[in-house]
Amino acid sequence: MPESALHFFLDQNIPREIAVWLRAKRPDWKVSIVQDAGLTGKPDADLFRWAQANRAIIITYDEDFADARLFPLGSHHGIIRLRVWPTTVEVTKKALNRVLAQVPVSDLEGSLVIVDLARIRLRRPPSGD
């Protein structure tokens, strides 16, 4: 996925301010949020389908999205699972800044990225070799 085509989909648990911040940080990125997609209160499966139909990387605090049995690696365009506390705008920005600085955009495609306060774990989809 070319960096200029990057599309993020923020789960309903991510503060709206994060969308504003991401758009300002990189105006060439597309940032969508659950509320604007009309999916507020919908099940994760609906959010997942929307993200796949729109080739978006999901950003969430929701641990269910990190469950590879529900959302297998390679079946999605990418998931960034934030395991940070408190879930404030400031802490969320710091976590996302770390991901964007340390994980190449090409590694986000189809991968699960789990970010906590100390480290970033990247789980890539199985290769088709």
Domain regions of the chain by residue span? 3-123
* Other beta carbons within 10 Å of 46: 13
Please tell me the predicted confidence (pLDDT) of residue 3.
Answer: 54
Query: Does residue 5 surpass a pLDDT of 60?
Result: yes
> In terms of Cα–Cα distance, which of 75, 80, 78 is closest to 96?
80
Q: Could you tell me the pTM of the whole model?
A: 0.93
Which pLDDT tens digit goes with each residue over 28-82? Answer: 999 999 999 999 999 999 999 999 999 999 999 999 999 989 999 889 999 999 9
| pLDDT computed for residue 128 by the predictor | 56
